[in-house]
Structure 1
Amino acid sequence: MKVAFFSTKSYDRQSFDHYLPESSHDFTYFEPKLDHNTVALAKGFDAICTFVNDHLDEKTLKKLSKLGVNTIVLRCAGYNQVDLKTAAELGFKICRVPAYSPEAVAEHALALLMTLSRKTHKAYNRVRENNYSLEGLSGFNINGKTAGVIGTGAIGRAFCKIMLGMGCKVLAYDPYENEELTSLGVEYLALEELLASSDIISLHCPLTPDTFHLISQKTLAQMKDGVIIINTSRGALIETKAVIKALKSKKVGNLGIDVYEQEEDLFFQNRSEEILQDETIARLMTFTNVLITGHQAFLTNEALAQIATTTLENLDELEAGKKLTNEVVWKEE
């Protein structure tokens, strides 16, 4: 297949180029993200390959259909960026990468937590300035804390195991309990009970209408004072303005996020020479107990290899007309 590859970064090209010589597919890399303004780049291709911030809304999908492109491979697990109803009506075939090194994301969640717990980011900057003072660097032990994990899919399960290894009591919330985790000592609770009982809350669930603003003024009020919140899933799981208020009142003691509600026009780009226009994230960055990374939790060599190989396997199945292992379909609610 001839594939138009949108939102290309150097690490994408490097990982896919490693496997393309063994593949029958021909890739053309485009740096712009896909939306209704750039969709014309897909003309003449059999399929498109997109990432989390590409727009697959009704307008873009209709333009793709007119171009004769009805095959989409997502090089990510989430698909909230896709208008699945319109895609189904137009006859699109869509595949995703459901799991790529769950440990990569889980370990990044731990990295955020450990950095906040021991303020290593601040210590690093101090020592580089020849400042060896320990004032203001007091941290807290993770061992002995109660960790609440919301969502126990592959990534959530990996994070549960890490926290058990750190000596934490681990609580979980998920519509589907995992027997392996319960056998290891993880206790499943109702969401309200988990929020009220956890010192640390880590989000590992998809973004759906039900989970949009899962962390809100209402749910924050149910949490312990000084709670630590970690989010490596999707930005809109957190109502950012509500969390800012909770940080100001010290209801939230620490916040570590790798994703952000309005990240689309910020993340994956170098904006160091520009004036930051987003006042909400600018406000977040004024808090000394907030740590933000730019959607890098997935970015390990192992995960990139898995994304590339699974995407190519998805294309093989699509080209051969086989049953699609990783198909995304619209289900009427």
Structure 2
Amino acid sequence: MKILFYDAKKYDIDSFDKELADYASIEIDYLDADINVRTAALAKGYDAVCAFVSSDLSAPVLEVLHEEGVGLILLRCAGFNNVNLEKAKELGLTVLRVPGYSPEAVAEHAMTLAMSVNRRIHKEYIKVRENNFSLEGLMGINFYGKTAGIIGTGKIGAAMARICRGFGMRVIAYDKYPNPSLDFIEYKELEEVFREGDLISLHCPLTIDNYHMINAKTISLMKDQVVLVNTSRGELVDTDDLIAGIRAHKFHGVGLDVYEEESGNVFENREADIMEHSVTARLLSFPNVIVTSHQAFFTEEAMEAISHTTLENALGYEKGEIPTGNQV
């Protein structure tokens, strides 16, 4: 099997090449460029393409892949909202993903964001480097004894819930399908979670129903000085409404590993760019906001799991034995 790997970074190549030694029947060629309507044509002669969560897998791109003879799309991620699944089905393209790699990696990053923005670590780091040891503007809150509101209790949400419990927090959650094994969680209606949470952390997939679930209305339900964290999908949050809430002093802190405008930024070095009208720049202007670069997944253990599962998906497709739960 020949795979064309789009948007390959050094860490991707290192991780996949290490795993590839155990897969003699699979060949990978790496491209710096991400996939789009023009670069999709480069997949001619390949059996599969490998793409990531921010890749363009819209209908026009899928049509080009189909025309060039590609039969398999390997997503090296769990999310698949960037794929036009109806068009893929129509064209007979198989789409495989990595449904779980390291939920603890994402959950740990979510709590890192929550703690960092709460205790203003990002501000203090800069101040101390300039020999400024003042405590002005650094006041935090105790998470111990507070209420953590978890939206979505799949593997990542469950890991975050356990972390919050370890901090001595009361844990409440909303999920259409409550997890009975998490007996320390109080499941509530979504509005109740918004009203009661001192920390609200999003851990749900993006769907038509929950697009912009964080908006002016739901923000108004939240406690004053709430901490909001999003490590799921940027489109869960209406950024304009979030900015309005920040300006109204609704939030003690906001930690975002994902955001609506990230597609042009994620995993890229834009140090030389001036983003004058950028929503990202507006978010970064607030002292109680931390934005990270869609890095919650990025640990050695997670990369190893992503590489292994992606190659197992390719091997399974080749043998006609697709791993259960990996097809979308």
Taking structure 2 as the reference length, the TM-score comes to 0.98
| Aligned match of 1:81 | 82
Identity %: 49
Note if contact 2:253-2:288 (Cα within 8 Å) is conserved in structure 1: yes
| SS of corresponding position for 1:48 | strand
Distance 1:106 1:194, change over 3 A: same
| Aligned match of 1:68 | 69
Query: CA offset at residue 325 of structure 1?
Result: 2.2
Alignment of 1:219-238 (within 5 A): 219-238=218-237
Query: CA offset at residue 41 of structure 1?
Result: 1.4
Note if contact 1:95-1:324 (Cα within 8 Å) is conserved in structure 2: no
| Aligned match of 1:22 | 22
Query: CA offset at residue 285 of structure 1?
Result: 1.0
Query: CA offset at residue 215 of structure 1?
Result: 0.3
| SS of corresponding position for 2:133 | coil
Note if contact 1:314-1:326 (Cα within 8 Å) is conserved in structure 2: no
Distance 1:303 1:323, change over 3 A: closer
Query: CA offset at residue 207 of structure 1?
Result: 0.7
Note if contact 2:313-2:322 (Cα within 8 Å) is conserved in structure 1: no
| SS of corresponding position for 2:244 | helix
Q: Which runs of 5+ in 1 are unaligned?
A: none
Note if contact 1:49-1:74 (Cα within 8 Å) is conserved in structure 2: yes
| Aligned match of 1:255 | 254
Distance 1:287 1:44, change over 3 A: same
Query: CA offset at residue 135 of structure 1?
Result: 2.3
Query: CA offset at residue 277 of structure 1?
Result: 4.6
Note if contact 1:97-1:326 (Cα within 8 Å) is conserved in structure 2: no
CA-to-partner distance for each residue in 1:81-137, whole Å, 9 max, x for gaps? 000001001101111000111000000001001111211222211221122222222
Taking structure 1 as the reference length, the TM-score comes to 0.96
Cα distance in structure 2, aligned partners of 1:97 and 1:263: 21
Amino acid at match of 2:116: T
| Aligned match of 2:50 | 49
Query: CA offset at residue 323 of structure 1?
Result: 3.9
The answer to whether structure 1 residue 112 and structure 2 residue 113 are counterparts is: yes
| SS of corresponding position for 1:221 | helix
Alignment of 1:71-220 (within 5 A): 71-181=72-182, 183=183, 185-220=184-219
Cα distance in structure 2, aligned partners of 1:25 and 1:123: 48
Note if contact 1:117-1:142 (Cα within 8 Å) is conserved in structure 2: no
What is the alpha-carbon root mean square deviation over aligned residues? 1.0
Distance 1:106 1:278, change over 3 A: farther
Note if contact 1:119-1:139 (Cα within 8 Å) is conserved in structure 2: yes
Cα distance in structure 2, aligned partners of 1:115 and 1:86: 42
| Aligned match of 1:301 | 300
CA-to-partner distance for each residue in 1:149-184, whole Å, 9 max, x for gaps? 000010000000000000100000000011111x2x
| SS of corresponding position for 2:11 | helix
Query: CA offset at residue 209 of structure 1?
Result: 0.4
Query: CA offset at residue 279 of structure 1?
Result: 2.4
- What stretches of structure 1 move > 6 A for 4+ residues in a row? none
